[in-house]
Amino acid sequence: MTIPRSRLALLALLAAGVGACGATRPARFYTLEAVATSDGAAPATPYGVVVGPVTIPPALDRPQLVVQVAPNRVDIDEFNRWAAPLPEAIAATVAANLAALLGTPDVVAGASASFVVTHTVTLAVQRFASLPGKESAVDIVWTVRPAGGGAARSGRTVAHEPAPAGGFDALAAAHSRALAKVSADVAEAIHASAARVKRPAKR
């Protein structure tokens, strides 16, 4: 069976039109931002902190945003993505928050540092849920370890930040606020760890 050239041309135009329609919806990329601030009255501290590694559940280890649509169901959104790998983005955001909260520039995300390291922070993400029109829900287990030895301090921060409107922009902002709460708990643990090291031994 021979298809007329006119019909072939029409099919080609239709295919091109469908492709053009698909190309008109580009992916959007989102970042996490450090939003923690210091009151400016606290003196600078001598801390040197390395944040990482950060572990996340395998279901979240992808560039697409994973959206919670039901108690036991998620959608993987192909058109809304993280601008960087999520573990790296979380580490960088917590590091920037800690720099503000601790009053020191010597905080980095990663394995290497150009300063004397006093503490390392590891983060194990249990939940990093995006609920459109509702909230960001974050559950992170963190551990603070003094670099010179001594007892580690661990804790768990669960944070829920509302995102009732604004779509994915609001969700990314809510996640950033939730990570600020995690960072505040970690900063408190670092202060407590340092105070214990400085406390003189009982005679």
pLDDT digits (tens, 9 = 90+) for 31-84: 999 999 886 666 778 999 999 999 999 999 999 999 999 989 999 999 999 999
Asked if 91 contacts 85 with a C-beta cutoff of 8 angstroms, the reply is no
- Domains in the chain and their CATH numbers? 5-31+42-198 (3.40.50.10610)
Distance CA 34, CA 80 (A): 20
Q: Are strands 135-146 and 153-162 parallel, antiparallel or unpaired?
A: antiparallel
Asked if 138 contacts 159 with a C-beta cutoff of 8 angstroms, the reply is yes
**DSSP string covering 12-68, please?**
HHHHHHHHHHHHTS--EEE---------S-SPP----EEEEEEE--GGG-SSEEEEE
Task: Summarize pLDDT for 108-155 with one digit per residue, the tens.
Answer: 998 789 999 999 999 999 999 999 999 999 999 999 999 988 899 999
Mean pLDDT is lowest, of 13-17, 22-26, 146-150, 169-173, for: 13-17
pTM of this prediction exceeds 0.75: yes
